[in-house]
Amino acid sequence: MSAAAPIIVVGGGIAGLATALAAAPAPVLLLTRAPGAKGVASAMAQGGIAAAIAEGDTPAAHAHDTCVAGSHHNDARIVELLTSSAGEAVQWLQAIGVAFDRHPDGRLQFGREGGHDRPRIVHAGGDATGARVMEALVAAARAAAHITRQAGVEVDGLLMRDGQVCGVCMTDAEGRRSVVHGRAVVLATGGIGGLFAQTSNPADADGSGLALAQAVGVRLRDLEFVQFHPTALALPGVHSLPLVTEALRGAGATLRDSLGRALMADVHPLGDLAPRDTVARRVFQACQDGGALLDASVVGADFPKRFPTVFHACMDHGIDPRVQPIPVTPAAHFHMGGIDVDADGRSSIAGLYAVGEVACNGVHGANRLASNSLLEGVVFGRRLGAILRGLPPPYDQPDANAAQIVLHPESLAEGDLIALRAVLMQTMGPLRCQAGLKEGRRACAAFNGWQATLAGALLDAATARRESLGAHFRVQE
């Protein structure tokens, strides 16, 4: 293998781009399904970035809220690393061109979201933080001489040699398959929301990277913990739903049932800003009983300026959120589980690393705290990139006969995929029961495709955890 063998990064979201940029000057090959930020969940993130940088706030307070939201299933050491690095992460993003919202006097604006005991969320463009951060990262990556970007490819296999990962197999839009050897492979492929009937993620967030790792026997962790955002815009029959940001509730919006009664009254001390798992279960039940609504009229005339993404999504569907309640429903939003990695992104197989939502280093525990995901991608992506840039390149020539290509199984047909999504939403949604989980597992056995294999692993993990914990909530039977 030549001295120029690249670090291969699979995925073009915030975690993948942060990793690629931090790996300079080592050569990086960035592989994505779509150009730019298309199909990337990071670009859809309406929440901001949690950082304890306001006066009177501390990383320890941020860490406390993170662990409370995660039901103390978190790795405390990793949480401390995240929260203590948040200020530096915000500074780095500003340095590459992210303009966070500020008061007229120049001070950063801080919002408050569910699970936080005080305002500590920085935003860019109101509810368009993910898009603004992605714009800056994509521009920086395009300007970086050490990064070669190849879009429109599906990474559907890993190369194995002597028990370690040494490259990838990919298929382009014309169906041509090729292999690329590298000094390291980083999976930054995002989450699994696309495997559920209702999700706030793009459909491409389908667990493909997790399935690749599963195929080569990488150790996985905490697969049962799937966070459902309590407030996606309820649009019957639509798979990928517009998100209705939690920051609206931070600004005073109130959840109500179909009769106008406050949903979170006497449910949790933080009311509408309770941790997401608590709110999602309450909203889910209200939807079963006739519907759930978010009354955001308190925002008033400032709605288009403060929350432009939500405003336009509502108006596009005939809802004026300044004066009308917004119909909402829970939607699969974030996977706390994933490829088991350490603080440096190393998996259980040499040569394979993971970062962002596809990875699980224990930082989120059983339930992610609001606005910690973009922060996670930046902090651990930059950390991983810095480690990988120091890897010595392998100097032996690649031997195609010595490397084994491990492909994940064929993909499900569209009709079967739609059916599988319905099964997961019904059996692994905000409320779960033993009988439903077992029925879901039996249903998965009827499908033949990598999505079904992955879904089976999710259901097995949920079945094995008999007690409720965080986002994994078991109803009494």
Q: What is the pLDDT of residue 41?
A: 56
Q: Is the pLDDT of residue 1 over 50?
A: no
The answer to whether 123 and 67 have CB atoms below 8 angstroms apart is no
Q: CA distances (Å), 10 to each of 32, 184, 227, 408, 473, in order?
A: 6, 11, 24, 15, 32
Q: What is the pLDDT of residue 477?
A: 64
Cis omega before residue 308 (within 30°)? Answer: no
Query: 277 by DSSP, 3-state: which?
Result: helix
**Contacts with 316 (C-beta within 8 Å, 6 or more apart), sequence order:** none
- Per CATH, the number for 7-192+336-388 is 3.50.50.60
pLDDT per residue as tens digits for the range 272-313: 988 788 899 999 999 989 999 999 999 999 999 999 889 999
Q: CA distances (Å), 110 to each of 57, 247, 285, 296, in order?
A: 11, 11, 32, 19
Assess whether 276 carries a catalytic annotation: yes
Sketch the domain layout of the chain as residue ranges: 7-192+336-388, 232-329, 410-477
Number of Cβ atoms within 10 Å of the Cβ of 81? 18
| CA triple 263-270-262, angle to 5 deg | 15
The answer to whether 203 and 240 have CB atoms below 8 angstroms apart is yes
Q: What is the pLDDT of residue 468?
A: 95
Q: Which residues pair with 326 in a beta bridge?
A: 294
What's the pLDDT band for 34 if we cut at 50, 70, 90? confident
Detail the DSSP E strand segments found in 209-258. 220-221, 226-233, 254-257
Cα 196 from Cα 204, distance rounded (Å): 12
Mean pLDDT score of the chain: 92
pLDDT per residue as tens digits for the range 351-407: 999 999 999 999 999 999 989 999 999 999 999 999 999 887 765 556 656 678 888
Detail the DSSP E strand segments found in 391-462. 404-407
Cα 323 from Cα 331, distance rounded (Å): 24
Lowest mean pLDDT among 119-133, 183-197, 331-345, 394-408: 394-408
Say which residue the tokens 């699980």 belong to.
360
Q: Choosing from 120, 276, 281, 441, which is the catalytic residue?
A: 276
Answer positive or negative: Cα dihedral of 225, 230, 236, 239.
negative
- Per CATH, the number for 232-329 is 3.90.700.10
pLDDT per residue as tens digits for the range 148-185: 999 999 999 999 998 999 999 999 989 899 999 999 99
Q: Which residues pair with 164 in a beta bridge?
A: 161
What's the pLDDT band for 321 if we cut at 50, 70, 90? very high
Number of Cβ atoms within 10 Å of the Cβ of 23? 28
Cα 477 from Cα 465, distance rounded (Å): 15
Lowest mean pLDDT among 16-25, 105-114, 148-157: 105-114
Residue 450, H or E segment: helix 450-464
pLDDT per residue as tens digits for the range 419-454: 999 999 999 999 999 999 999 999 999 999 999 999
Please name which of 348, 408, 412 lies closest in space to residue 168, comparing C-alpha atoms. 408
Lowest mean pLDDT among 29-38, 218-227, 259-268: 29-38
Written as six digits, the tokens of 100 are 């966070």
Answer positive or negative: Cα dihedral of 128, 129, 133, 136.
positive
- For 395-415, give the DSSP string: -SPP-TTTPEEEEPPPPPPHH
Residue 314, H or E segment: helix 308-316
Distance from the first to the final alpha carbon of the chain? 58
Selecting from 2.60.40.10, 1.10.4000.10, 1.20.58.100, 3.10.180.10, what CATH number does the domain 410-477 have?
A: 1.20.58.100
Cα 338 from Cα 325, distance rounded (Å): 36
- For 82-107, give the DSSP string: HHHTHHHHHHHHHHTT----B-TTSP
pTM exceeding 0.85: yes
Detail the DSSP E strand segments found in 225-306. 226-233, 254-257, 292-295
Q: What is the pLDDT of residue 38?
A: 53
